[in-house]
Amino acid sequence: MASQEKAQNTAAAVGAANSRLASLDALRGLDMFWIVGGGLVAQSAAKASGCPWLQWVSVQMSHVPWDGFHFYDLIFPLFLFMIGVAIPYALGKRLSRGESLARIYGHLIIRVVVMIVLGMMVNGSLLTFNPAKFELTYSVLQMLALGYFVAAVLFLNFNLRNQIVATAAMLVGYWALLAFVPGPGHEVGKFREGCNVGDWVTEWLFGKWQGQQIGWVVGILGHASTAMLGVFAGHLLRSGLGAPQKLARLAAMGAGCLAAGFLWSGWITEWFPGAWSQWPIWFPIIKVRWTSSYALYAGGISYLLLALCYLIVDVWGFRRWATPFMAIGANSIFAYMAWSLCSSAFRRVSEVFLGGLKPYVGPWHDAILAAGALAVLWALLGYMYRKGTFVRI
């Protein structure tokens, strides 16, 4: 009963507005564009150009092996951030309709299970239909689902102040666990693969499974923090403030998170080396462990991109340019699954229609085929968008 009352108070706090943010669909689609072939097109084009100064594009379209940050390291956290932005809209609307928490939690659990199963189709060998080969492993959809679930639970049960406190506790607690909990190969304040409590716990629980086990169990704290940063943006955008105030606060939140992530990462010690570089307070930006500094740094960029997109699409009303990306964003999970499982089929269609250009385009042939494969999926998503066909979980 108390939880129901808290949930109703949360719904009232976020306001009665139920309108869908066009800028959110646009930014989600722009983010997904790089996953569903855009990154491959950019890499292929940079290689074909032969320009040494463009090779940084290929570098930016790949993940940093350990600590550091490339453009491609923003794609995943930006999407999880936008899932968080949507939580006050989606759950607030359901609460305002008087839906029970039991019903909402039931749907949350179903959604999490479905996304984990979809993740196992992509990364867990589920489609081999051979249980001996199944892998419960780190996957994009699995971590989106788990981060979303924790953020949704916090939204439903705590007011905004306590949501902020819980998020800060997750960020600091995750750092403390990885920095100070002793174990094999661990050194206080040092972060190496296999030498932290996150890796040990995941190995202990799921070591018998094949697949990529990269500390994701404890790492849920980092993923949930990213989703909560998005929830805070959702609270703000659903508030009764005017557009200028919303934009100013989004920009301030972005700058603050960006600065906090940068400072906590210890990058400043590379510019001003000294004894303080050995202090155990630093938490490097490590995407493959979703460190707290990484969550804040990527979250800061996400706030700023959302502010820019909100300004252009929702405030100024310039939407025509965004429509192709909104077609991707409106069916983002379908787009991800289609590209992950069927990209070779899209490539084959591209080869049928564009393969004959090879004698005429030279080194650009691969880039053209990659663009053609992307165009096949994009055409399908555009058709679904025009027909109002949206795949929901």
Confidence (pLDDT) at 41: 95
Mean pLDDT of all residues in 35-50: 92
In a domain, 393, yes or no: no
- Residues in contact with 135: Cβ distance below 8 Å, sequence separation at least 6, in sequence order: 120, 123, 124, 125, 209, 210, 211
In a domain, 241, yes or no: yes
Model confidence at 17, pLDDT cuts 50, 70, 90, reads: very low
CB 147 within 8 A of CB 87: no
| pLDDT tens profile 321-362 | 999 999 999 999 999 999 999 999 999 999 999 999 999 999
CB 71 within 8 A of CB 56: no
**Separation of alpha carbons 185 and 287, rounded Å:** 21
- Give me the residue label for tokens 């070779």: 344
In a domain, 321, yes or no: yes
**Separation of alpha carbons 187 and 181, rounded Å:** 9
| pLDDT tens profile 293-306 | 999 999 999 999 99
CB 155 within 8 A of CB 146: no
CB 234 within 8 A of CB 18: no
Hey, CA dihedral for 20, 23, 26, 30, is it positive or negative?
negative
- Residues in contact with 251: Cβ distance below 8 Å, sequence separation at least 6, in sequence order: 303, 304, 307
Residue 4 in this model has a pLDDT that exceeds 90: no
- Residues in contact with 247: Cβ distance below 8 Å, sequence separation at least 6, in sequence order: 307, 310, 311, 315
Which residue intervals of the chain are DSSP H helices?
2-13, 22-33, 39-49, 55-60, 75-96, 101-123, 140-157, 160-180, 197-206, 216-238, 243-265, 268-271, 292-309, 323-329, 332-354, 358-361, 365-386
- Give me the residue label for tokens 């892998």: 135
Confidence (pLDDT) at 15: 39
| pLDDT tens profile 247-273 | 999 999 999 999 999 999 998 888 888
Mean pLDDT of all residues in 222-243: 97
Task: Label residue 161 left, alpha or beta by phi (over 0 means left) and psi (-120 to 50 means alpha).
Answer: alpha
Q: Which residues of 29-66 are buried (b: 16+ CB within 10 A; e: fewer)?
A: bbbbbbbbbbbbbbbbbbbbeeeeeeeebeebbeebee
Q: Determine the residue type at 200.
A: W
Q: pLDDT averaged over the chain?
A: 91
φ and ψ at residue 319, rounded to 5 degrees = -110, -20
In a domain, 392, yes or no: no
| pLDDT tens profile 182-207 | 888 888 888 988 888 988 888 888 76
Domain of residue 153, residue span: 2-386
**Separation of alpha carbons 292 and 328, rounded Å:** 29
Using CA atoms in the order 125, 128, 130, 132, what is the torsion angle rounded to 10 degrees? -30
Model confidence at 10, pLDDT cuts 50, 70, 90, reads: very low
In a domain, 330, yes or no: yes
| Number of domains the chain is built from | 1
**Separation of alpha carbons 302 and 160, rounded Å:** 20
List residues bridging with 286 in a β-sheet: 67
| pLDDT tens profile 97-129 | 999 999 999 999 999 999 999 999 998 889 999
The proportion of the chain whose per-residue pLDDT surpasses 70, expressed as a percent, equals 93
Confidence (pLDDT) at 215: 83
Using CA atoms in the order 274, 277, 278, 282, what is the torsion angle rounded to 10 degrees? 160
**Separation of alpha carbons 18 and 238, rounded Å:** 8
Model confidence at 19, pLDDT cuts 50, 70, 90, reads: low
In a domain, 319, yes or no: yes
In a domain, 12, yes or no: yes
**Separation of alpha carbons 370 and 45, rounded Å:** 9
Model confidence at 209, pLDDT cuts 50, 70, 90, reads: low
- Give me the residue label for tokens 């439903």: 156
**Separation of alpha carbons 388 and 283, rounded Å:** 45
Confidence (pLDDT) at 2: 45
Residue 13 in this model has a pLDDT that exceeds 50: no
Mean pLDDT of all residues in 285-298: 97
CB 224 within 8 A of CB 147: yes
List residues bridging with 67 in a β-sheet: 286
Confidence (pLDDT) at 261: 98
In a domain, 391, yes or no: no
Mean pLDDT of all residues in 142-165: 97
| pLDDT tens profile 52-97 | 878 888 899 999 999 999 999 999 999 999 999 999 999 999 999 9
Confidence (pLDDT) at 199: 87
Residue 51 in this model has a pLDDT that exceeds 50: yes
pTM: 0.91
Confidence (pLDDT) at 124: 85
